[in-house]
Structure 1
Amino acid sequence: MSASQTPPPVPAVTGEDTPTLLVKIFGRDRPGITAGLFETLAAYSLDVIDIEQVVTRGRITLCALVTTPDGGVEGELRARLHTWAESMRLQAEIISGRGDNRPRGTGRSHVTVLGSPLTAEATAAVAARITGVGGNIDRIFRLAKYPVTAVEFAVSGAETEALRTALAPEAAALGVDVAVVASGLHRRAQRLVVMDVDSTLIQDEVIELFAAHAGCQEQVAEVTAAAMRGELDFEQSLHARVALLEGLDESVVDKVRAEVRLTPGARTLIRTLKRLGYQVGVVSGGFTQVTDDLKERLGLDFASANTLEIVDGKLTGRVVGEVVDRAGKARLLRRFAAQAGVPLAQTVAIGDGANDLDMLNTAGLGVAFNAKPVVQEAAHTAVNVPFLDTVLYLLGITREEVEAADAQA
């Protein structure tokens, strides 16, 4: 720094005994309110300590915490603020005090509540549970109003695991979904999302679509359901079900691809994540004959599944290569993360069945999506609405951000 340059001023520290004013403005929202308030305050050379502004149904609440002016002009400032507020048809409340906001407690989390609808009863119960484990709700804001109502509570003073334990039974009893994730920079930095396919990315069980063409759909569906509940070894059940497909013509593959139905919100989820710089992959106990097609259609970065053996244009009733089972899904998540250059702590896994559990518990955030009870109990969080894009809200991405990204595309 040259001798002619003046070093920047060091910001003053607001101590506990520093006189401060809390200025609260509320009324009908219109352009220019925030600028007008701070233009009024600027005439008194005040320091701004904190600002909070909320607009709900066209009504604004604007709070500014500022230092008290020097020179005995506080009364003049108060009169001027009330005069300005009246000119804007607003109300003003000015409260004297000392210091900043009280320090937030240790242990910080984001509690996301999803409801369709979200009732006052459910909101009250969630808030009471947070308080019951020593948490303080610092802020609440809405993430989305469609296709579900999603609100987020910023909570301090309670550990994340304690909040999860307390809120899980409340959510089940009230019919809402509650997700608790630790606060921190990593929340927005989770740059790899890996999903199960059957009954997660898509609405169907692919092997049952094949079985329908082989005339054994009911038999296969019973075995599939038992495997997803964790009652059967997945690999054994896979071989037993695939054996029933022996002799099917390979033309059935194209028919099954055409029959696959994406879960509502699947395209929005993937499109939004990709625009935000995430990498997205799928792992499936189903078949590459379908997942490879999904990878191409949806622009996925990774895909892995079992492969049906086809010889002389016919399904042999066997799979070839490495079997993607419960342990295999977790192994593939690690492989994808390494290839993407993403730490496991910054990964998200989504699934519904017992064979997804290792993957969900390996990821930084494991989401049970419309999952079997055993999976909901073991995963980090659960979502029980039929829209896959609600997972975006667990990452702190609002509906408005999704719509803005779509508009710019």
Structure 2
Amino acid sequence: MADLTDPGSAPLPAGPSSAPLDAATLLVSVSGDDRPGVSSALFDAIADVGAEVLDVEQVVVRGHLTLALLLVPAPGDEARLEAVVTEVAAALGLTARFEAGTGDNAPRRTGRVAVVVLGAPLLASAVSAVTARIAAHGANIDRIRRLSRYPVTTVEFDVSGADVLSLRRELALESSVHGVDIAVAPAGLARRGRRLVVMDVDSTLIQDEVIELLASHAGRAAEVAAVTEAAMRGELDFAESLRQRVAVLEGLPAGVLDEVRAAVRLTPGARTLVRTLKRLGFTVAVVSGGFIEVVGDLARELEIDHARANRLEIVDGRLTGRVVGEIVDRAGKARALRSFAEQEHLPLSRTVAIGDGANDLDMLEVAGLGIAFNAKPVVREQADTAVNVPYLDAVLYLLGITREEVEEADAADGTPTPAPRISPA
């Protein structure tokens, strides 16, 4: 083992920056067509002169490179440093700009939030409105990155100096005016780590309302659909409306449940959403005002961790027109989310709820992030954020996951990647 008391025996680990806080610094900005080896060539040239690197950031948009370096030149070597960077940049067909100053970057303010904007399409007018509202809030946009190009265009703003709840309310106005979806969530460590994601099923995980599929076998689909619509708008008590709808199923053979299971259609992006969340180590759950006879099979098929739904009473191979046990209503969905979080040893702040109807409102409120998915107006108004495109995997972007990351993971394990879905005009 090296003797650390002997300076000559082994190099000591690098400590904090040796440059004083008021040291002379040089901001180097390089731009032009990107190509392999640009960063290597520049740092090789800088190394020959000698300089301390305080910060570096690079972005490439459609092949155009912008590279920014904050350096501390060795005393007396400022002019030489500029000369070698200019020479290398010119050889690479790049332009270089220099700005002398003192000290490091100003410390980032507290109040860090992530603002995610989804549009199909995402128009410049919407981005202008969002950035203006952030500025009016007194916050600063520190970084911007694109999360997806399809099926929607998604951009994430890394913002400091903001209050989550206030900025969320302010940007909700721009969302309504400009027809884009906007999510505001705490950034930093709050955006990382394991989460519990709880989804509604009917008209969220799947495109159908199971009760209506069942009612069609009784010739009562239109009647039941009207009651369902009123209940989802919050105009009827959910438990009572469920009893009314289930009553029309009396006498149906239990075999219709197999037919309905085969008929349900997953929402576009549902498999991708669940698969990606599971890869991240997240816990995924479904809670439904529908029926466990259908929901349970869906959960097993998608490898969902928890499922809770109502249970139909079956006697002598036929539906009785009643449900058994506690009804999973609006309050029941919130209780289920709390129960799942407790089982997974996760605080409610690390939960996400997704739903579309009034019976999802308590669950959306309890969750750390409540997402209204193609929801009724009363739900969009009260949820933390909304997704109004018909792709359930768009929820991934609200969590800061990029489309490229999803596709790379699919390619790594051989999962076929769906053909690009064109954003609706």
Q: How does the TM-score come out when normalised to structure 1?
A: 0.97
Which residue of structure 2 aligns with residue 251 of structure 1? 255
Which one of the candidate residues 256, 272, 285 is aligned to 1:281?
285
Query: 8 Å contact 2:194–2:280 — kept in the other structure?
Result: no
Query: Partners of 2:88 and 2:145 in 1: how far apart?
Result: 28
Query: Partners of 1:12 and 1:356 in 2: how far apart?
Result: 52
Structure 2 residue 8 is matched with structure 1 residue 3 = no
Alignment of structure 1 residues 2-81 onto 2, 5 Å: 2-4=4-6, 7-12=12-17, 17-70=22-75, 72-81=76-85
Opposite residue 51 of structure 2, the aligned amino acid is L
Which one of the candidate residues 232, 240, 257 is aligned to 1:236?
240
Alignment of structure 1 residues 3-402 onto 2, 5 Å: 3-4=5-6, 7-12=12-17, 17-70=22-75, 72-402=76-406
Opposite residue 181 of structure 2, the aligned amino acid is D
Offset of residue 204 of structure 1 = 0.7
Offset of residue 104 of structure 1 = 2.2
- SS at structure 2 position matched to 1:92: strand
Percent identity between the aligned chains? 62
- SS at structure 1 position matched to 2:56: strand
Offset of residue 15 of structure 1 = 5.2
Offset of residue 161 of structure 1 = 1.1
Q: Structure 1 residues 54 and 363 mapped into 2: Cα distance closer, same or farther (>3 Å)? A: same
Query: Partners of 1:203 and 1:282 in 2: how far apart?
Result: 15
RMSD of aligned Cα (Å): 1.3
Deviations 1:329-379 (A, max 9, x none): 111111111222222211111111111111111111111111111111111
Number of residue-to-residue matches in the alignment: 408
Query: Partners of 2:18 and 2:305 in 1: how far apart?
Result: 48
Offset of residue 103 of structure 1 = 2.5
- SS at structure 1 position matched to 2:151: coil
Offset of residue 140 of structure 1 = 0.6
Range that drifts further, 341-350 or 276-285: 341-350
Offset of residue 168 of structure 1 = 0.3
Deviations 1:44-103 (A, max 9, x none): 332111111000111110111111321x12111111111111111111111111112222
Query: Partners of 1:17 and 1:53 in 2: how far apart?
Result: 25
Offset of residue 2 of structure 1 = 4.6
Range that drifts further, 33-42 or 206-215: 33-42
- SS at structure 2 position matched to 1:200: coil
- SS at structure 2 position matched to 1:304: strand
- Provide structure 1 residue ranges, at least 5 long, that are not aligned to the other structure: none
Query: 8 Å contact 1:190–1:348 — kept in the other structure?
Result: no
Offset of residue 248 of structure 1 = 0.6
Query: Partners of 1:120 and 1:20 in 2: how far apart?
Result: 35
Q: Structure 1 residues 153 and 406 mapped into 2: Cα distance closer, same or farther (>3 Å)? A: same
Query: 8 Å contact 1:15–1:100 — kept in the other structure?
Result: no
Query: 8 Å contact 2:30–2:96 — kept in the other structure?
Result: yes
Which residue of structure 2 aligns with residue 404 of structure 1? 408
Q: Structure 1 residues 74 and 6 mapped into 2: Cα distance closer, same or farther (>3 Å)? A: closer
Query: 8 Å contact 2:120–2:152 — kept in the other structure?
Result: yes
Offset of residue 16 of structure 1 = 5.0
- SS at structure 1 position matched to 2:142: strand
Query: Partners of 1:382 and 1:15 in 2: how far apart?
Result: 47
Range that drifts further, 391-400 or 188-197: 188-197
Opposite residue 34 of structure 2, the aligned amino acid is D
Query: Partners of 2:235 and 2:269 in 1: how far apart?
Result: 30
Opposite residue 352 of structure 1, the aligned amino acid is D
Range that drifts further, 193-202 or 103-112: 103-112
Query: Partners of 1:122 and 1:9 in 2: how far apart?
Result: 46
Query: 8 Å contact 1:111–1:154 — kept in the other structure?
Result: yes
Offset of residue 43 of structure 1 = 2.0
Q: Structure 1 residues 190 and 173 mapped into 2: Cα distance closer, same or farther (>3 Å)? A: farther
Offset of residue 6 of structure 1 = 5.6
Query: Partners of 1:20 and 1:171 in 2: how far apart?
Result: 41
Query: 8 Å contact 2:46–2:84 — kept in the other structure?
Result: no
Opposite residue 288 of structure 1, the aligned amino acid is I
Q: Structure 1 residues 170 and 225 mapped into 2: Cα distance closer, same or farther (>3 Å)? A: same
Query: Partners of 1:209 and 1:407 in 2: how far apart?
Result: 36
- SS at structure 2 position matched to 1:300: coil
Query: 8 Å contact 2:246–2:322 — kept in the other structure?
Result: yes
Query: Partners of 2:317 and 2:124 in 1: how far apart?
Result: 59
Opposite residue 38 of structure 2, the aligned amino acid is I
Query: 8 Å contact 1:24–1:94 — kept in the other structure?
Result: yes
Q: Structure 1 residues 182 and 15 mapped into 2: Cα distance closer, same or farther (>3 Å)? A: farther
Query: 8 Å contact 2:194–2:281 — kept in the other structure?
Result: no
Opposite residue 41 of structure 2, the aligned amino acid is G
